Amino acid sequence: MRRFPVSVWLFAFGLALITSLPYIAGLVSTSEGWRYSGAPAVPTGVAVDFNSHMAKMWQGSRGQLDYQLLFTHEAHPGLPLVQGFYVILGAVAVFTPFGMPFIYHVARFALTVCMVLAIWAFSGRFFEKKRERWLATIFGTVVSGWSWLLLFIDPAMTAQVSPIEFWLTDAFNLLGGLFMPHFAAAIILQIVAMLTFDDWVRAKGASARRLITLTLTLAALSIIQPYGIVLFGALLAILAAYHVFSAKRLSWLRALWLVIPLGIYGALMVYQYVAISNDPVWAQFSAQNQTLSPLVTYYLLGYLPFIIPIALGARRFMVDRADDRWWIPIIWVALVAMLLYGPFPTQRRYLLGVQTPLAILAAYGWSQVILPRFRRKVLVTAIYVTLAGVALMGIVFANATALMNPTKMTAAFYNPDELLGYAWLQREASPNDLVLTTFDLRGQGSGGRLVAATGQRVFIGHWFETADFENKVQQVERFYDPETPDSWRQDFLKQVGAVYIWYDEYARALGDWNPADADYLEAVFASERVTIYRFNP
């Protein structure tokens, strides 16, 4: 703790508090009889992923450490370590008197604090002056992007893909910390891995303690962000080759010790890949988990606040900087740039944490080239950071104001009828009893909400974690179509193994067919808005 000034601690806690304001607003604004889910209001995709994280925590809370997809009906094996961060978090939640959404946000708050401290520590590897370290830390947290300018420059371009500051949570450190604790955890592990590797390379002697730390850090990173091996495996290999062949800092014999951390890192990744690929349901999840990059314009504008000082400082950097530590951020950024449009379905995932090396390079250009041109350095910096952080603060404000009005943002809250239905399921149903739910391409429906609230298995509820998702959307629509024969419905319910049907406003909006008219369905729970039917084959 002593290595971090009090001002840095206050800054870290301040940012964690700011990112918590929307959730505090949702909690204090909840009407009597309702319950706040803990999810953000916008964007929709993050709320859907929040439900997924709750599903993982539910399984951990039951002592099930091999994660299964709760959003699909097909039988499939549970996979140990896969999605392990939230499974373990759910197991921890059992030993507290608090609900899982609260523990989720406690973890998010704590890891956001630690992420800021880690960025400060990382900046110390490149800057000695406190002013420059502060610049790097601010660039690594508060600054976001300017692709929102497309709303004014080319509104038609944003009709299909919004500015990345509003939805691409992988792209910016604090945006990730605003929504998902495992993003902050991954960024911390990235920094620890790079600092430990650099310390190990420059240490005199074997330094077994650093090698063990690197091994454990990469192992944890492989579980939290398995896609990252393509980036960090290559980054560490390139840096190691540099220290062997160019800097002559590493001997071949000593460099071979890296086989241990990189081998374990790779083995864990291969295990997850093979386990997912060998099961058809998990393979469907992987195939649907497409996270391709938007047009390069979004990235150029999105990272423009970093690109400007980096570009202006590049010439002086090439003259002044002889310290080869700077290869870390340079190669890191270069690899991400190459991977963003590489032949992988997870292109956007390689953005996670790239703001860290960008912040280091931007802080150099800002402090060495831009600031010397101005007399009022603090004022100029404050104006630039404010303009560069407006999108991030805007998304915090949008969530806070939306969650302060539960009557309009009902998707983030459970109404009294839902809560009664959830309580009935938790009391009467087995967690493995399948519930026929609804969910659509917009992320609307009962499936994700029901899983997050109860940990129950559902037929459909997530874009990626529901196998054969688009076909199931059509099947649910056909189920509620009044023209569909009852024989098809009965065969369908038998085929998928549905035990219960959750009938609410989402289901009623799909069609005029009413389950109350079917003699093979028994109403076992009823309230004003929700009815639960049991299927009697």
Q: What is the pLDDT of residues 109-162, one digit of tens each?
A: 999 999 999 999 999 999 999 999 999 999 999 999 999 999 999 999 998 899
Please report whether residue 69 resides in a domain.
Answer: no
pLDDT band at residue 410 using 50, 70 and 90 as cut-offs: confident
Please report whether residue 88 resides in a domain.
Answer: no
Say if CB 494 and CB 502 are below 8 A apart. Answer: no
263-276 pLDDT per residue, tens: 999 999 999 999 99
What CA–CA distance (Å, rounded) separates 344 from 138?
32
The number of C-alpha atoms within 13 Å of 280 and in the hemisphere containing its C-beta is 4
Q: Does 187 lie in the same domain as 301?
A: yes
Please report whether residue 76 resides in a domain.
Answer: no
Q: Does 444 lie in the same domain as 301?
A: no
Stronger pLDDT, 461 or 320, i.e. the higher one: 461
pLDDT of residue 335: 98
Which of 398, 433, 453 is the last residue before a domain boundary? 398
Q: Which domain holds residue 257?
A: 6-36+98-398
Averaged pLDDT, 76-96 = 94
Q: Give the percent of the chain with pLDDT over 70.
A: 99
pLDDT band at residue 295 using 50, 70 and 90 as cut-offs: very high
pLDDT of residue 408: 78
CA 389 centroid distance within chain: 20
Q: Does 423 lie in the same domain as 350?
A: no
Which of 363, 398, 433 is the last residue before a domain boundary? 398
12-54 pLDDT per residue, tens: 999 999 999 999 999 999 999 999 999 999 998 999 999 999 9
Please report whether residue 335 resides in a domain.
Answer: yes
The mean pLDDT value of the chain amounts to 95
- Report the range of poorest mean pLDDT among 283-292, 393-402, 446-455: 283-292
491-512 pLDDT per residue, tens: 999 999 999 999 999 999 999 9
pLDDT band at residue 290 using 50, 70 and 90 as cut-offs: confident
pLDDT band at residue 457 using 50, 70 and 90 as cut-offs: very high
Mode of pairing for the β-strands spanning 35-36 and 66-67:
unpaired
Output the six-digit token pair for 385.
């950071």
- Which 8-state DSSP code applies to residue 525? E
Q: Is the dihedral of CA 60, 66, 69, 73 positive or negative?
A: negative
Averaged pLDDT, 437-459 = 96
Please report whether residue 322 resides in a domain.
Answer: yes
Q: Which long-range contacts (CB under 8 A, 24 or more apart) does 523-527 make?
A: 524/424, 524/428, 524/500, 525/420, 525/421, 525/424, 527/416, 527/417, 527/420, 527/421
Q: Does 354 lie in the same domain as 387?
A: yes
Which of 398, 431, 457 is the last residue before a domain boundary? 398
Q: Does 520 lie in the same domain as 466?
A: yes
Q: Does 377 lie in the same domain as 324?
A: yes
CA 263 centroid distance within chain: 26
Count up the domains in the chain and report the number. Answer: 2
Q: Does 447 lie in the same domain as 387?
A: no
Q: Does 295 lie in the same domain as 237?
A: yes
pLDDT of residue 318: 79
Q: Which of 367, 354, 368, 364 is nearest to 325 (CA)?
A: 364
pLDDT of residue 8: 97
Please report whether residue 408 resides in a domain.
Answer: no
pLDDT of residue 409: 78
pLDDT of residue 139: 98
Q: Does 458 lie in the same domain as 418?
A: yes
CB neighbour list of residue 337: distance below 8 Å, 6 or more residues apart: none
Q: Does 377 lie in the same domain as 423?
A: no
Please report whether residue 132 resides in a domain.
Answer: yes
192-247 pLDDT per residue, tens: 999 999 999 998 766 799 999 999 999 999 999 998 999 999 999 999 999 999 99
The pTM assigned to this predicted structure is 0.96
CA Rg, the chain, in Å?
A: 25
Q: Does 437 lie in the same domain as 341?
A: no
pLDDT band at residue 3 using 50, 70 and 90 as cut-offs: confident
What CA–CA distance (Å, rounded) separates 533 from 529?
13
pLDDT band at residue 407 using 50, 70 and 90 as cut-offs: confident
pLDDT of residue 2: 61
Q: Does 314 lie in the same domain as 420?
A: no
Please report whether residue 384 resides in a domain.
Answer: yes
Q: Is the pLDDT of residue 321 over 90?
A: no
